[in-house]
Amino acid sequence: MSETHSNEAAESLPEQLNHRTWTQALREGRLLGQRCRDCGAETATPSAACNACGSRERVTIELPTTGTLYTETTVAVAPQGFDGGYRVGVVDLGSTRVMARLEGDSDIGDSIELAGVLEVDSPVPVFE
């Protein structure tokens, strides 16, 4: 990612991260999260207050779009609306983790990157 790109990204961080702004960013190929202004704890999905200290002072942050695969499962018997045989994983982004759909055959510990968005239901990240 070029320096210019990062600067643009930083400028356009929504002041308040919620499901709408998180989703909007994801569709633009960006992963947004939150840092607690009081204790520094980071999360990859929005919440109204910090689970580590209870503070409501949430700062929107740009998360890396590369991470390592922390754990995974192949879902064969799928919920309604999905065709079984896909992989779901938890991606370690360093300071936090996020659940994502997986493409490819990465193993735990492999480096993977944000490759798109799955929109069967509301949008979620796809890592490859």
- Catalog residues that contact other proteins under the rule CB under 8 A: 19, 43-45, 51, 70-82, 86, 88-91, 96-101, 108, 118, 120-124
Between 59 and 117, CB nearer to Zn ion: 59
Residue in 26, 50, 61, 98 binding Zn ion, rule: CB under 5 A? 50
Task: Beginning with the edge strand found earlier in the chain, give each strand of the sheet holding 42-43 in spatial order.
Answer: 42-43, 31-36, 58-63
Structure tokens given for 31? 């992963």
Select from other proteins, Zn ion, none the partner in contact with residue 50, using the beta carbon and a kind-dependent cut-off of 5 to 8 Å.
Answer: Zn ion
Question: How far apart are the C-alpha atoms of 122 and 19, rounded to whole Å?
Answer: 10
Residue 80, binding choice from Zn ion, other proteins, none, Cβ under 5 to 8 Å by partner class: other proteins
Distance CA 73, CA 3 (A): 36
Neighbours of 57 (CB within 10 A): 13
Minimum CB separation of residue 81 from other proteins in Å reads: 8
